[in-house]
Amino acid sequence: MLIDLHPQPADMARLVHQGMADQPKQLPAWLLYDAEGSRLFDAICEQPEYGLTRTETALLEAKAPELAAALGPGVLVEFGAGSARKVGPLLAALQPPAYVPLDISGEHLEASCQTLQAQYPTVPVLGICCDYSALDQLPAHPLLEGQRLLGFYPGSSLGNFTPQQAQALLSQFAHLLGPDAQLLIGIDQPKAVERLEAAYNDAAGFSAAFAKNLLVRLNRDLGGTFDPQAFRYQARWQSEHSRIAMALISDREQTVRLAGRDWTFAAGEALISEYSVKYGPQAFAELAAAAGWRCAQRWSDANDDLSLHLLVRADSGHTHP
Ligand code: AVI
């Protein structure tokens, strides 16, 4: 079952106008995820240099019963579920009354819903295709009515927002999930620069293809005239911001038409395709606190590369881990 709330072309054009007028030019990360972008992202997750997915999946598998016990009963709402490959152990341990994956990539989401429904026939699955960062409220649905909601936000996708946007997003999740909610969130941590830069610039070229697919997508869906060959992909660690900046660098001065307007690039000018901010446990706890959440418990892998944080509402009086 799928509810389709994908942004309309006029909304996409408005966001593109805003982002292209920014300095540096930058577009919302969710535009990367058309059907091809979602496929390329899945391929990135399997590259030897990109350990995030493997580490988090292993941690979820190992800790699923503990995580389920800490979360308690409720409908599981996953933000940015994509292929929903991580949630299995949690569904098995939690046996929630329903599982509600949200994702921007409709076709991809539909396929994941079908696969999961077949694997977990006792858990009703309700997919919602949407930009979860712009969702004011969850749609009314019998599966959600009167239920306590548990948020699940793995993959460190919070890092694809600036810290200011990330704080707003965490506050919005609190609002969407309601007073009794908890949020289980996966956060990638800072580590050696060489490892970080390699993770976002895999030798097989999937990271570059993923970023360049943005231009193909913009050409197709928003009347763009980008020549992907005229841009080069770059991923750099910016320690002052604790983030990887992924960019498409214009190899010459050029003017591109997009969403009904002309945009000029200087030679060497960047179009930021994505940031990926990394938070250590302390920095993340501060960010969560600013958004009204308290870190109740943390799990991490043996190398302490990545954390799963269990967040409870700061005003809930909930004392359990
Ligand atoms: C989805 N997100 C957490 C990925 C990341 O690691 O920031 C997106 C990504 N882009 C290129 N590689 C991975």
pLDDT tens digits, 67-95: 999 999 999 999 999 888 899 999 999 99
Q: Decide if 171 contacts 291 (C-beta within 8 A).
A: yes
Ligand 1 atom at shortest distance from the alpha carbon of 32: 10
Contacts of 153 (CB under 8 A, 6+ apart): 78, 79, 80, 173, 183, 184, 185, 186
CA-nearest residue, atom 6 of ligand 1:
276
Q: Per-residue confidence at 209, pLDDT binned at 50, 70, 90?
A: very high
Q: Per-residue confidence at 318, pLDDT binned at 50, 70, 90?
A: low
Q: What is residue 84's predicted lDDT score, i.e. its pLDDT?
A: 87
pLDDT tens digits, 263-289: 999 999 999 999 999 999 999 999 999
Half-sphere exposure of 206 (CA within 13 A, CB side): 19
**What is the identity of the amino acid at 260?**
G
For ligand 1, the distance from its centroid to the CA atom of residue 6, given in whole angstroms, is 21
For residues 172-193, average pLDDT: 96
CA-nearest residue, atom 4 of ligand 1:
157
Check pocket membership of 274 for ligand 1, CB cut-off 6 A: yes
Q: What is residue 229's predicted lDDT score, i.e. its pLDDT?
A: 97
Q: Inform me whether the pLDDT recorded for 320 exceeds 60.
A: no
For residues 22-44, average pLDDT: 95
Contacts of 118 (CB under 8 A, 6+ apart): none
Check pocket membership of 201 for ligand 1, CB cut-off 6 A: no
Q: Decide if 152 contacts 123 (C-beta within 8 A).
A: no
Q: Decide if 150 contacts 96 (C-beta within 8 A).
A: yes
| CB-count exposure of residue 172 (10 Å: 0-12, 13-18, 19+) | middle
For residues 10-21, average pLDDT: 94
Mean pLDDT, all residues of the chain? 95
Contacts of 298 (CB under 8 A, 6+ apart): 281, 307, 308, 309, 310
Q: What is residue 287's predicted lDDT score, i.e. its pLDDT?
A: 98
CA-nearest residue, atom 12 of ligand 1:
200
Q: Per-residue confidence at 179, pLDDT binned at 50, 70, 90?
A: confident
Check pocket membership of 210 for ligand 1, CB cut-off 6 A: yes
Terminal C-alpha separation, the chain: 34
Summary count for the chain: helices (H), strands (E): 9, 14
The DSSP output letter for 140 is P
For ligand 1, the distance from its centroid to the CA atom of residue 170, given in whole angstroms, is 18
Check pocket membership of 156 for ligand 1, CB cut-off 6 A: yes
Query: 281 in helix, strand or coil?
Result: helix
Ligand 1, from 47, 79, 160: best to mutate by most atoms within 8 Å of Cβ? 160
Ligand 1 atom at shortest distance from the alpha carbon of 45: 13
Tokens 């190398």 -> residue: 303
- Helix 35-45 crosses helix 206-221 at what angle (to 10 degrees)? 170
Query: 161 in helix, strand or coil?
Result: coil
| Structure token digits, residue 241 | 């911001």
| Structure token digits, residue 34 | 């058309």
pLDDT tens digits, 96-140: 999 999 999 898 899 999 999 999 999 999 999 999 999 999 999
Percent of the chain with pLDDT over 70: 98
pLDDT tens digits, 42-73: 999 999 999 999 999 999 999 999 999 999 99
For residues 289-296, average pLDDT: 97
Check pocket membership of 157 for ligand 1, CB cut-off 6 A: yes
CB atoms within 10 A of CB 317: 7
DSSP code string of 205-231: SHHHHHHHHHHHHHHHHS-----GGGE
Query: 92 in helix, strand or coil?
Result: helix
Ligand 1 atom at shortest distance from the alpha carbon of 188: 6
